[in-house]
A and B are shown apart, each in its own frame.
Chain A
Amino acid sequence: MFIVHNKSIFLGVTGIIVALAIVAISVLGLPLGIDFAGGSLLEVSYSAERPEKGVVEEVLAEDIDGVFSLRGSGENGFILRTHTLTSDEHEGIFEALSLGREGEVVEERFTSIGPVIGAELREKALVAIAIVLAVIILYIAFVFRHVSETVSSWKYGLVAVVALVHDIIVPAGAFALWAHYTGAEIDTLFVMAILAILGYSVNDTIVIFDRVRENLTHNREMHSKEPFAETVGRSLSQTFARSINTSLTTLFVLGTLFFLGGVATTDFAFTLIIGIIAGAYSSLFFAAPLLVQLAGREHTEGY
């Protein structure tokens, strides 16, 4: 199987992809939304055509002390993000947004989140991601315990988790780019997308490992001396098509969610699409070569 035979190339390519994602994150940054940083978000829509963004920004600059960001929303609306507003400030800004044309502007959404909640959510998100990774490594180590004579089942868990770390760094990097161009921000939905990627992407890896597990058991029964690298390569080619297909069906629905699902879930769908592509890639081109690499010399040369 070409992937296993050229494992250094694939491990290298994966390294470069991850490095690029990390560069994107550190250069462009991941802008925290109000869910995590605290602040207020006001979405309005105009019954007629929305006014020029520059004009609105000018008016707002008089009303808001400090930084704010204004982003177009839909065809005739704006989303305004600021520090946490008091109810007086909120009313003042809403008035300012009408630009003197009473009744033509409608408040679609107002969210105000105190810094305490934001900090708490941030901490919780990191803890949740860490727990998911830990639980998956334990679970895989547990279900693969019977094949640990060849390669310790901990290594399967470890490889699965390293692949998962790849699966979340890549969409995070892509999101940094996406945020740079669209003004999107990290919110609770982003964390959900990341956690969903963790829960989903491990499936592909498990399918391949399961084939390895089955082939190893079969080899043992047949007293076959197939090298571990060959077993992994064979398992990979046996499961290649189905791994692609399972990800493909999920990508179909995510694609429609991205294009048709409405503003609320566009960023969410974007993150998941990248994450699931990354997950499919890492299961096939990264997890298997890494498993062979980790298995060590004695297992790659003979069983």
Chain B
Amino acid sequence: MVRTRIFALILVIAGVLLGYFVYTTNGHDERFAFRLGLDLSSGTHLIYTVDVSGVPNSEVAVALDALRDVIERRVNLFGVSEPIVQIEQGGILGSDTAQNRLIVELPGIADVTEAVALIGETPLLEFKLRRTDAGALQTLQDIENGTISPEDIVLDDIYQNTELSGRLLKHADIQFGSNQVGLSNEPIVVISFDKEGEALFGNITRDNVGEPLAIFLDGVIISEPIIQQEIRGGEAVISGNFSPQEARELIRNLNLGALPVPIQLLSSQSIGPSLGSNALTHGIEAGKYGLILISLFLIIWYRLPGLIAVGALGFYIVLMLALFKIIPVTLTAAGLAGFILSIGMAVDANILIFERIKDEVRGGTDNAERAIRQGFIRAWLPIRDGNVSSILTAVILFWFGTSLVEGFALVFGIGVAVSMVSAITITRTFLIALAPNKVRTNSIFGVRTSSHNT
């Protein structure tokens, strides 16, 4: 009894300290401030599909890493605070439709058009050879004869990808073409490849002397020089009738990072600041009143144990908020709803325990401590079984994916697990510490002497 009372005191102190921690670490620059998802603050969420069909299977992972780095660099350049850039596998487990996705979250930027431009401006540089099969030759013939216009054809019908692309770029530079007759003022772009690109470029030029090598920028041909000889040393020259201004922009963008693989916007979401803060205020409001209703109900229906359950609930809430800060969990509107739902569920275990204690008291146990201990033992199995199935559901929800659902699943799952611990340990400690030795008045446990089955 004495030991339990000391432990109860320690729990109270721990709860107060946790509460102090949660309350005092909410400044903007604090390391442990709450992290709010885009739908509670404001910002843009973009999902791109990544086309890796041009990359050999063994190098997909490398290309995706490179893509993430490039986009990250680009996003950072615009000074967005705490952006998220990640690669995700789309599609269902085990299906063939698995796709690589690029997820970009830009907190604070609520203008989709601006955000998309910010990502999309990165140039995609590709080198392609002409196809030599009959179909492609026929198409070329048709263009020459004027039977179809060049605008009507699909470029892929004529050109085939080489593995050479902006992915293998080391550096781009601008030069003014003074060494070429008649073009003295036209800027040219000189790009140097990395080791892999250097070898690849050497092989391509060696095997295709006399053929044109087309250079594509964002899917458009900018020049198509004829390969004169094998080029070693990994330098290529692009002359595409650039104005000095265009050439400088191209160089800057290429150096910031050409996209190693093409991406395409699949979906976008942006949320303005007032909508987000409204959702947050309303969520907190709902949680507050929900908590008051539950507390009233518990105290009126279960008396002393009810009051203790309210204390345990308070401990649960403080502990959850502290966990949100420490893990950290990014709170979304759905996550907040999940947390509010978990407050309602957190007291379920207490209700089951109190009813079991009542069963014991009705069954004739007049020693309060024994009734309490028995009640806990007997309530454990249904609490365990119910909570395990809830946690399993949360795990499946988490797998279900998309950042929106993950927020809910994480909060819901942690909530169920934590509530199981708080309901059992904390309620038990306080009940035993505060209970009278004899159940003199049934009213303490809310047992009506007249009825056996409620």
Contact = CB atoms under 8 A, between A and B. Distances in A.
Interface in A152-210: 188-189, 191-192, 195-196, 198-200, 202-203, 206-207, 210
Interface in A95-128: 106-114, 116-117, 120-121, 123-125, 127-128
A142 to B, nearest CB: 10
Contacts of A108: 271-272, 274-275
A238 interface: yes
A135 B340 CA distance: 25
Contacts of A127: 92
Contact of A253 (B90, B344, B409): B344
B352 to A, nearest CB: 6
A200 B270 contact: no
Interface of A: 43, 45, 87, 90-91, 106-114, 116-117, 120-121, 123-125, 127-128, 131-132, 135-136, 139-140, 143, 188-189, 191-192, 195-196, 198-200, 202-203, 206-207, 210-211, 213-214, 237-242, 245-246, 248-257, 259-265, 268-269, 272
Interface residues of B, number: 79
Interface stretch (B139-147, B248-256, B293-301): B293-301
Contacts of A87: 112-113, 116
A253 B283 CA distance: 11
A199 B301 CA distance: 26
A15 B112 CA distance: 49
B351 A246 contact: yes
Contacts of A110: 112, 268-270
Tell which of B297, B338, B352 has the most Cβ of chain A within 10 Å: B352
Interface string B259-297: 000000111111110110011011101110111011001
B413 to A, nearest CB: 9
A109 B285 CA distance: 22
Interface in B337-361: 337-338, 340-341, 343-345, 347-348, 351-352, 355, 359
B29 interface: no
16 contacts: A45-B274, A109-B270, A110-B268, A111-B268, A114-B265, A123-B92, A195-B400, A206-B382, A214-B381, A242-B352, A249-B348, A253-B293, A253-B294, A260-B285, A262-B286, A263-B279
Given A135-B392, A260-B286, A265-B337, A128 B344 contact: no
Contacts of B271: 108-109
Contact of A261 (B91, B272, B283): B283
Contacts of A242: 351-352, 355
Given A107-B270, A124-B92, A196-B408, 15 more contacts: A91-B113, A108-B272, A111-B267, A114-B265, A127-B92, A192-B409, A202-B386, A207-B382, A210-B385, A246-B348, A252-B293, A253-B291, A254-B290, A261-B285, A264-B279
A252 B345 CA distance: 11
A39 B386 CA distance: 39
Q: Which 10 A-B pairs have the closest CB atoms?
A: A262-B282, A199-B393, A253-B290, A203-B386, A250-B344, A261-B286, A253-B344, A210-B382, A256-B290, A113-B267
Given A43-B275, A261-B283, A241 B355 contact: yes
Interface string B41-63: 00000010100000000000000
Interface in B18-74: 39, 47, 49
Contacts of B394: 199
Contacts of B454: 240-241
Contacts of B341: 196, 250, 253-254, 257, 272
Contacts of A206: 382, 385-386, 389
Contacts of B286: 253, 256-257, 259-262, 265
A238 B283 contact: no
A120 B283 contact: no
A202 B390 CA distance: 8
A48 to B, nearest CB: 15
A131 B396 contact: yes
Contacts of B347: 246, 249
A128 B281 CA distance: 31
Contacts of A260: 282, 285-286, 289
Nearest to A192: B408
Contact of B352 (A117, A189, A246, A268): A246
B274 A265 contact: no
B412 interface: yes
Contact of A252 (B285, B336, B344, B392): B344
Nearest to B111: A107
B204 to A, nearest CB: 34
A265 B333 contact: yes
Given A202-B386, A253-B287, A245 B351 contact: yes
A195 B393 CA distance: 7
B399 interface: yes
Contact of A189 (B282, B334, B386): B334
Interface string B395-419: 0110111101100110010000000
Contacts of B393: 132, 135-136, 195-196, 198-199
Given A112-B269, A246-B351, A264-B333, A117 B47 contact: yes
A245 B93 CA distance: 39
Nearest to A131: B396
A188 B408 CA distance: 11
Contacts of B389: 135-136, 139-140, 199, 202-203, 206
A286 to B, nearest CB: 18
A107 B340 contact: no
Contacts of B266: 113-114, 116-117
